[in-house]
Amino acid sequence: MTDWTPYTARARDWFEHLRNAICAEFEAIEREAGSDAAFEYTPWKREALEGESEDTGGGTRGLMKGKVFEKVGVNVSTVAGGLAKDFAATINGASAEQNAFSATGISLVAHMANPHVPAVHMNTRFLTTTKAWFGGGADLNPPLPYPDDTAEFHAAFRSACDSFAPDAYQRYKAWADEYFYIPHRGVHRGVGGIFYDHLECPDEETWEANFAFTKAVGEAFLAVFPRIVRRRMGQVWTAEDKAQQLEWRGRYAEFNLVYDRGTLFGLKTGGNIDAILMSLPPHATWS
């Protein structure tokens, strides 16, 4: 059985590098808007569950509230331990009898002040149980959709996918359309993106290929989303625009609390509550 520890460390290093690059770019946008907002970083340690060692990892929660980014969180965590036996059966490669896991990843959600600027989510991760795999994706969530923003966002991720496999974009776009859907509302959460999971690594060569793809996803996000923000952040908005944004945010919150896998995984594995729920918007309405 492969010892994935050094590979987990490499993935963690990349996620931290990506976090630093994204936060620097978002802070640069705030400067362009005349704001001195900056990320505040709060380290946290995972509390060991019964029967675990004391060293079960942790992470850092990065949070910024500014003029352009009303609330943006960028979290990186690296944790390990044992899955609750009733939850283990729901995780790829785990069971009640073999419930050890490790996970490292980056998770980002941005809620924007201007309703013309889309909110966004991005997450990539590497997990091990009796198997090892990558997962992740990104999706655009505009209260006021613009076709050119949607097309540019999808084009960036199509390029990342095309470097990995000829049919990857169509498969992962369809997966995102299926996943980022609110059944009780009968609507999609936004205008989509890509979603992939259980990208398994049976050997080192496959790990390298899957890791390269995961890095390409992060780089695509870093390239495309700031461009969209800069295009829209100076647009004038009305009270009606803001009302539509707040109502849409309520639906975003519903998805994350009811259906999101990452929220459930974090809560079930002893994650930091504030980091897990940073995805919730600062203000929302329900009619």
Q: What is the DSSP letter of 233?
A: T
Q: Is 103 helix (H, G, I), strand (E, B) or coil?
A: strand
Annotated domain spans of the chain: 63-279
Query: For this structure, is 283 an active site residue?
Result: no
CA dist 77 and 98 (Å) reads 22
**Helix residue spans in the chain (DSSP H):** 5-32, 85-88, 147-162, 168-179, 204-232, 239-258, 261-268, 273-276
Locus of tokens 């675990």: 52
**Could you list the pLDDT tens digit for every one of the 287 residues in the chain?**
578 899 999 999 999 999 999 999 999 999 999 999 999 999 998 876 666 566 788 999 999 999 999 999 999 999 988 887 878 888 887 787 888 889 999 999 999 999 999 999 999 999 999 999 999 999 999 999 999 999 999 999 999 999 999 999 999 999 999 999 999 999 999 999 999 999 999 999 999 999 999 999 999 999 999 999 999 999 999 999 999 999 999 999 999 999 998 898 888 877 788 888 888 999 999 97
Pick the CATH number of 63-279 from 3.40.1500.10, 3.90.550.10, 2.60.120.260, 3.20.20.70: 3.40.1500.10
pTM: 0.93
Strands 69-82 and 181-182, by their bridges, are: unpaired
Catalytic annotation, pick one of 121, 154, 184, 198: 121
197: Cβ contacts below 8 Å, ≥ 6 apart: 92, 133, 135, 136, 175
By C-alpha distance, which of 137, 143, 17, 20 is closest to 70? 143
